[in-house]
Amino acid sequence: MAKKMFFLFVLLLSLTGMLKAQVTTAGMSGKVMADEESVIGATVVAVHEPSGTSYGTVTNVDGRFSLQGMRSGGPYKVTVSYIGYQTAIYTGIQLQLGETYSLNVTLHEASELLGEITITASKSKFSAEKTGATTNISSEQLTTLPSINRSISDFTRISPYASGNSFGGRDGRSNTFTVDGANLNNNFGLSSGLPGGGNPISLDAIDEVQVVIAPYDVRQANFIGAGINAITKSGTNAYRGSAYMYFNNEVMRGNKIGDTDFGVRAEESKTVYGATFGGPIIKDKLFFFANVEYEKSPQQVITWRAAKEGETPNNSTISRTTEADLAEFSQILKDKYGYNTGSFTDFPADVTNLKLLGRIDWNINQGNKLSVRYNFTNNKTWEAPNGSSGNTGYRLAYNRVSAYSMSYANSCYSLQNIVNSATAELNSRFSSNVSNQLLFTYSDMKDERGTNSSPFPFIDIMAGYYENGNQILEPYMTAGYELFTYNNLVKNTVMTIVDNFTYYLGAHKLTAGISYERQKAGNSYMRNGTGYYRYSSFEDFKNGAAPESFALAYGYNGNTKPSADVKFGQLGVYLQDEWNIRDNFKLTAGIRMDNLSFLNDIMRNQAIYDLDFNGMHIDTGAWPDSKLQFSPRVGFTWDVFNDKTLKVRGGSGFFTGRIPLVFFTNMPTNSGMIQNLVSITTRYKDGVVTSRDPRLELLKGNMITDVNQMISTLGLPTSISPEEGVLPSSVVGIDPDFKMPQVWKTSLALDYQLPVSFPLTVTLEGMFSKDINAVRQYNYNVQVPDKDTWSRFNGPDDRYIYPENFLQHTNISNANVLTNTSKGWGWTGNITVMAEPAKNVNIMAAYTHTESKEISGMPGSDANSAWTNVPSINGPNSSGLMRSQYVTPNRVIASINWRVHLNKKTSSNFSLFYSGYSSSGYSFMYSNDMNGDGVTNDLIYIPKTKDEIKFTSAEDADAFWKFVNQDPYLKKHKGEYAEAYSARAPWVHRFDFRWSRDFFVKIGKTKNTLQLSLDILNIGNLLNSKWGVTKNMSGANGGRILTYKGKDESNTPIFSMYKDSDGNYPTGSFTRNLNYSECWKLQIGLRYVFN
């Protein structure tokens, strides 16, 4: 005991700061000993008791055995026999997905009195031979953890590295999600959510989920964030089925935060119906499982409303846009153009989701097991109009539906997600030394937008003019066919074939594998496909004034539905050795080689190629060259005392991931060869008009609503050829040397089982990552700041002042090129405690600290958005390392689950999950463009003293300095530039609760269970309406507290302090997020189960 504690103490002082493959099965390995010698030829048979599926082998010359391709779960009964020795039988063994269970056996000489010995498996968490950070979520946890959305993210949150869909401070789009090995990622990457509305498969069809962060098994590939692997349920020798329903509505949630009551509740509800059924077709041989689930949720897609006469707007539900203006605007569009805007008071939006799944498992013979699975999902949701994006050279300061602006029902749009997926897997064992896994998967995913609007231009009405005549660059009203919806369709097809060959050679397990993945993505995307008008004011619109900006996208040669496609194939080859150097030390080493090649041709736009960017050219007719990327990895696990009470594990290796495919299709979409995107705009500097396209005058008077007439009026080209080309307003390219993102991860962990009377384990884990090939956008059209010729501001904030001619070519606005950078790093430290202090009581608690620095988080899904939305000092091209926008620096989670067996006929289960964290990070930026680069995401300089920077008034200076001193981040970083995403919101503490009550009735041999359940999310908010509510910077203008007002004759910048619409200065950084989605919410459930 003293020896163990001393070793633990030393190792803890030195620990300063992995996971099995993306596979669909589990495994078992070990060594058989007798009389302190290895037993050669002992028979090992493992039987999955629910299905009778049997796996068998014999030990090799070193007494070792290995079983692969096994069903996860259990319980398993393992029988080990050898002539002349007692047969050893192990029961109650549970296998985890993707892990190899370690079972070392000691046989004893046979006795006439005892021919066999039965041993019940222990509950040690360290029986599995893992090397890196992993979290396995069992079927029991899937049914007991609190959840209302019934989404995978409700359960992956028990991984200490999780923060929503982000893991380890990485973009959620850098994860990979597989079901039975099939790719069900959001590969296109318009958001980090999964396809099928975020739930491509029903929870009731999932048997187990595994979250891996840094696996050192080279079979794992295509992610740099996390690999999330799920496997579906299988049939067994018993017929089992269930029928279930879940329900909640608008009265089953809170409607108040502090003193703010949200008033009359809009009608909304959610009802889920589902059923499962599985069993034997042929006992011990052939099994089936099926699931069907349907969800319907009548909702209101917009919860803001217009201000009634005499009503005061607020920051939660009432917009400044008046009902009178909305009614007048709608009537004008109806009378003049025959267009129906839809309601501005009612925004109904039914969310529907249908899921189907079927699975067949066939034990062909002792050595071959075949599984086939198919699932289908059809999800439809509704969304409010796009927030503030456009092709007008200036992004609106606020969202089109917000405290500042309102829209109509027919400007909302639907999103329909359809998923079809199938897998076929054959696991074969040819001898005790040779096994093989062959896996084929196919996934087809389609996302299509729809609308209730008839074809009509999208119209933005801005808020008018200031008293000095300058434009107020804020939205006020919006109507028409949503500007990103026309011909908006994404199709993604993925096919993979994988073969893993395993050979056992003494103490070595050798794996050789080959994988091939073929993907095709088609993107039909026409922003402004019906035309876009932006007017300076409502009066301008009514008076027939020329619009302030105009935009249009249309296909060449009469093609009304152009599409940009990308096709690629990725071949992966890998080799790995798992070497049991000693009985208690295993070393895993391998190398993986991946080669990605683009398979479709695209057209060069010669007009773009002819542009010279300091000797560089952009070829929109060529994909990046094929690249071979190497991923060497090594991992180890050391059972220090050879009794599974103390394990040290870790490893180091390269991981190659993917980027959202949208960043590839951006190039052909914007190449000017598929469609023409036209922007006719007014440009500003410091709120003052600097230029106005004279073609806007052609659009005076009544709006042109026919696209063909727009084209002819403006004299736009209708055909194109590669030789001539036409310059689009914005160019997108890809560096010919571009490589897929690659990260080097290294981890070290310690698992310790404390010597107490109940299971109590502690895990300490540290992980460091270094970017090898990170991804960013670089704008070729922006000149590199020249220290000899460019001016700088005077004073401590001496950033560059961009000259009027900072663009390389003035006939295009941007030339964004997708490229790589090696800058970026991150580290994570975690401590996790797990305990079972009493029977059926399970406790978990974990603390994780994460830091991650990057050049760009690639925000958005458009090349220009991914460039302009990077906060910087001297422009996005010159941005340095900054905190990742996906980081949650500190996070605490805990859970307790207690199952109470009241009697033979009823039992109850109580589950509580806690999470504590800072909900978001903010960037203190100027509200406008300070350095003149046309981008309004300039980070502020935080002065050392109140007088270090110049203000328009003493009142503004006093208000700003008072604000600085009350804000923890600003106060701590005086005399520095603000760092992006580093002003953290206050911590929020949330508790989610689930209760269920089971009633058992046995009829014949069938056990019938009726379950009632209650899920309450954010239960603390039910007790106090202020608890569990996140805070944001809405009261401090999102952190944009300073406005650049110009510079004096010495180039000293002058600023003003932000005031709200009532003319008040902000006095605090954070205010509660006044939205009823922050309130408590409950759901009731009813389930019937027979087995």
Chosen domain end from 71, 89, 122: 122
The DSSP-derived string for 594-646 is: EEEEE-S-----HHHHT--BTTB---TT-PPPPEEEEEEEEEEEEETTSSSSE
| Residues contacting residue 595 through CB under 8 Å, at least 6 positions apart | 570, 571, 572, 626, 627, 628, 629
Model confidence at 189: pLDDT above 90: no
pLDDT for 867-907, tens place per residue? 999 999 999 999 999 999 999 999 999 999 999 988 889 99
Clarify whether residues 501 and 445 are in a common domain: yes
pLDDT at 20: 36
Domain count along the chain: 4
Domain that holds residue 786: 292-672+729-918
Alpha-carbon gap, residue 390 to 534, rounded angstroms: 10
Q: Are residues 217 and 115 in the same domain?
A: no
pLDDT score recorded for residue 23: 65
> Which whole number is the average pLDDT over 337-363?
94
What residue has token string 């307003």? 729
CA distance 61 to 969: 64
The mean of the pLDDT values for the chain is 91
User: Cβ(446)–Cβ(417) under 8 Å?
Assistant: yes
Amino acid 128: pLDDT: 57
Could you give the CA distance from residue 880 to residue 612 in angstroms, rounded to a whole number?
26
Please name every residue paired with 272 in a beta bridge, in sequence order, or none if there are none. 246, 295
Residue 324: phi and psi, rounded to 5, are: -65, -45
Residue 551 is classified by DSSP as E
Q: Final residue of a domain: which of 890, 918, 946?
A: 918
Specify the 3-state DSSP secondary structure of 50. Answer: coil
The 10s digit of each residue's pLDDT in 476-502 is 999 999 999 999 999 999 999 999 999
Would you state the structure tokens that stand for residue 5, as one six-digit string?
A: 């504690």
On whether both 95 and 143 belong to a single domain, the answer is no
**Percent of the chain whose pLDDT exceeds 90:** 71
User: pLDDT-derived band of residue 116, with 50, 70 and 90 as boundaries?
Assistant: low
Residue 942 and residue 889 in one domain: no
888: CB partners within 8 A, 6+ apart: 163, 166, 169, 850, 917, 918
Same domain, 441 and 545: yes
Q: What is the CA radius of gyration of the chain?
A: 31
The answer to whether 1011 and 1087 are in contact (CB under 8 A) is yes
Residue 242 has φ and ψ, to the nearest 5°, of -155, 155
User: At 662, which helix (H) or strand (E)?
Assistant: helix 662-669
Q: What is the DSSP string of 814-877?
A: EEEEEEEE---EEEEEEEEEEEEEETTEEEEEEEEEEEEEES----SSSHHHHHHTS-BSS-GG
Query: Are the C-beta atoms of residues 421 and 182 closer than 8 Å to each other?
Result: yes
| Residue 50: CATH number of its domain | 2.60.40.1120
DSSP line for 875-927: -GGG---EE-TT--SEEEEEEEEEEEEEETTEEEEEEEEEEEEE--EE--BBS
Per-residue pLDDT of 208-252, as tens digits, reads 999 999 889 998 889 999 999 999 999 999 999 999 999 999 999
Q: How many CB atoms lie within 10 A of CB 767?
A: 24
Contacts of 913 (CB under 8 A, 6+ apart): 145, 146, 157, 158, 893, 894, 895, 991, 992, 993
DSSP for residue 810: T
CATH code (residue 586): 2.40.170.20
Mean pLDDT in residue range 314-335: 93
> Same domain for 806 and 860?
yes
Residue 868 lies in a domain: yes
| Residues 332 and 458 placed together within one structural domain of the fold | yes
Question: How far is the CA of 510 from the CAs of 217, 219, 435, 579, 587, in angstroms?
Answer: 12, 12, 10, 8, 12
One domain, residues 50 and 165: no
Give the residue carrying structure tokens 């003193």: 259
Q: Report CA 931 to chain centroid distance, whole Å.
A: 33
Among 256, 284, 301, where does a domain finish?
A: 256
Span 545-554, mean pLDDT?
94
Phi and psi at residue 1033, in whole multiples of 5°? -100, 25
Distance CA 1072, CA 1034 (A): 9
The residue assigned the tokens 């046989």 is 107
d(CA 218, CA 631) in angstroms, rounded, equals 8
Task: Provide the phi-psi class of 169: left if phi over 0, else alpha when psi is between -120 and 50, else beta.
Answer: left
**Do 544 and 583 sit in the same domain of this protein?**
yes
Tokens of 436: 């093989």
Residue 19 reports pLDDT greater than 70 = no
Confidence of residue 6 (pLDDT cuts 50, 70, 90): very low
Task: Tell me what pLDDT residue 921 has.
Answer: 96
pLDDT at 851 over 90: yes
The pLDDT score that the predictor gives to residue 27 is 87
Query: What's the confidence (pLDDT) of residue 111?
Result: 63
pLDDT digits (tens, 9 = 90+) for 916-973: 999 999 999 999 999 999 999 999 999 999 999 999 999 999 999 999 999 999 999 9
In a domain, 270, yes or no: no
Q: Specify the 3-state DSSP secondary structure of 115.
A: coil
DSSP designation for 948? G
Report pLDDT digits (tens) over 900-928. Answer: 988 889 999 999 999 999 999 999 999 99
Rounded to whole angstroms, the Cα distance separating 1011 from 996 reads 7
Max CA pair span of the chain: 107
- pLDDT exceeds cutoff 70 at 11: no
Same domain, 332 and 200: no
Please state the length of the chain.
Answer: 1091
> How many other β-carbons are positioned within 10 Å of the β-carbon of residue 1063?
6
Instruction: Compute the CA torsion angle 415, 416, 419, 420 (nearest 10 deg).
Output: -160
For residue 779, being part of any structural domain is answered with yes
For 40, other C-beta atoms within 10 Å of its C-beta total 14
Q: Which candidate, 374, 383, 378, 385, places its Cα nearest to that of 446?
A: 378
Q: Would you state the pLDDT for residue 121?
A: 55
Q: Is residue 282 part of a domain?
A: no
At residue 3, does pLDDT exceed 80? no
Is residue 14 domain-resident? no
Assess whether pLDDT exceeds 90 at residue 670: no
Alpha helices in 269-425 (DSSP H): 323-337
Per-residue pLDDT reduced to its tens digit, 245-282: 999 999 999 999 999 998 888 788 999 999 999 999 99
Point out which residues pair with 319 in neighbouring strands: none
Q: If DSSP codes are grouped into helix, strand and coil, which group holds residue 567?
A: strand
Instruction: Indicate whether 857 belongs to any domain.
Output: yes
E strand or H helix that includes residue 352: strand 348-365
CA 1074 to chain centre: 25
Contact 558, 485 (CB under 8 A): no
pLDDT level of residue 22 (50, 70, 90 thresholds): low
Q: Quick one: pLDDT band at residue 120, thresholds 50, 70, 90?
A: low
Instruction: Report the amino acid identity of residue 577.
Output: D
In degrees and rounded to multiples of 5, residue 200 shows phi and psi of: -70, -10
Residues 201, 117 share a domain? no
Judge whether residue 793 has pLDDT over 50.
yes
- The pLDDT of residue 645 is above 80: yes
We report the CATH number of the domain holding residue 173 as 2.170.130.10
pLDDT, position 715: 93
388 in a structural domain: yes
Residue 601 lies in a domain: yes
Q: Return left, alpha or beta for 909; rule: phi > 0 is left, psi -120 to 50 is alpha, else beta.
A: beta
pLDDT of residue 8: 41
- Both 142 and 118 in one domain: the answer is no
For residues 121-149, average pLDDT: 76
Output the pTM of the full model: 0.86
Distance CA 887, CA 830 (A): 15
E strand spans, 250-341 = 256-257, 260-261, 269-282, 286-300, 305-307, 318-322
